[in-house]
Structure 1
Amino acid sequence: MKAILFFIFLCSSCAFADETNCFKRGEIDSLVTGFFSSSDNFGYVKKMATEKLKDKLPYYEENNQINNIMKHATQIIFNRGNPGDYESSKQFIDNYPNINNFPNNGCVWKVSFLTPEKIRKMCDDDGAAGYFFGFIKINGEIKFSSILGMEILRPDGSFVCKGFDRYMKE
Structure 2
Amino acid sequence: MKTILFFIFLCSSCAFADETNCFKRGEIDSLVTGFFSSSDNFGYVKKMATEKLKNKLPYYEENNQINNIMKHATQIIFNRGNPGDYESSKQFIDNYPNINNFPNNGCVWKVSFLTPEKIRKMCDDDGAAGYFFGFIKINGEIKFSSILGMEILRPDGSFVCKGFDRYMKE
> TM bucket by the smaller chain?
over 0.9
Moved over 4 A (4+): none
- Aligned residue pairs total 170
Following the alignment from structure 2 to structure 1, what is the Cα–Cα distance between the partners of residues 77 and 136? 12
SS of residue in 1 equivalent to 2:165: helix
Deviations along 1:6-49, one digit per CA (max 9) or x if unpaired, are 32222111100001111000000000000000000000000000
Q: For structure 2, which runs of at least 5 residues remain unmatched after alignment?
A: none
SS of residue in 2 equivalent to 1:111: strand
Deviations along 1:71-105, one digit per CA (max 9) or x if unpaired, are 00000000011111101110000000000000111
**Aligned Cα root-mean-square deviation (Å):** 0.8
Following the alignment from structure 1 to structure 2, what is the Cα–Cα distance between the partners of residues 102 and 88? 18
SS of residue in 2 equivalent to 1:64: coil
Following the alignment from structure 2 to structure 1, what is the Cα–Cα distance between the partners of residues 10 and 53? 31
Following the alignment from structure 2 to structure 1, what is the Cα–Cα distance between the partners of residues 46 and 7? 39
Residues 58-77 of structure 1 correspond to what in structure 2 (within 5 A)?
58-77=58-77
Following the alignment from structure 2 to structure 1, what is the Cα–Cα distance between the partners of residues 102 and 69? 23
SS of residue in 1 equivalent to 2:3: helix
SS of residue in 2 equivalent to 1:118: helix
Shift of 1:116: 0.1
Match of 1:155 in 2: 155
SS of residue in 1 equivalent to 2:12: helix
Following the alignment from structure 1 to structure 2, what is the Cα–Cα distance between the partners of residues 3 and 70? 52
Shift of 1:143: 0.4
Shift of 1:5: 2.8
SS of residue in 1 equivalent to 2:132: strand
Q: Identity, % of aligned pairs? A: 99
SS of residue in 2 equivalent to 1:76: strand
Match of 1:19 in 2: 19
SS of residue in 2 equivalent to 1:97: coil
Following the alignment from structure 1 to structure 2, what is the Cα–Cα distance between the partners of residues 91 and 54? 27
Question: Taking structure 2 as the reference length, what is the TM-score of the superposition?
Answer: 0.98
Following the alignment from structure 1 to structure 2, what is the Cα–Cα distance between the partners of residues 36 and 49? 17
Following the alignment from structure 1 to structure 2, what is the Cα–Cα distance between the partners of residues 29 and 5? 38
Match of 2:136 in 1: 136
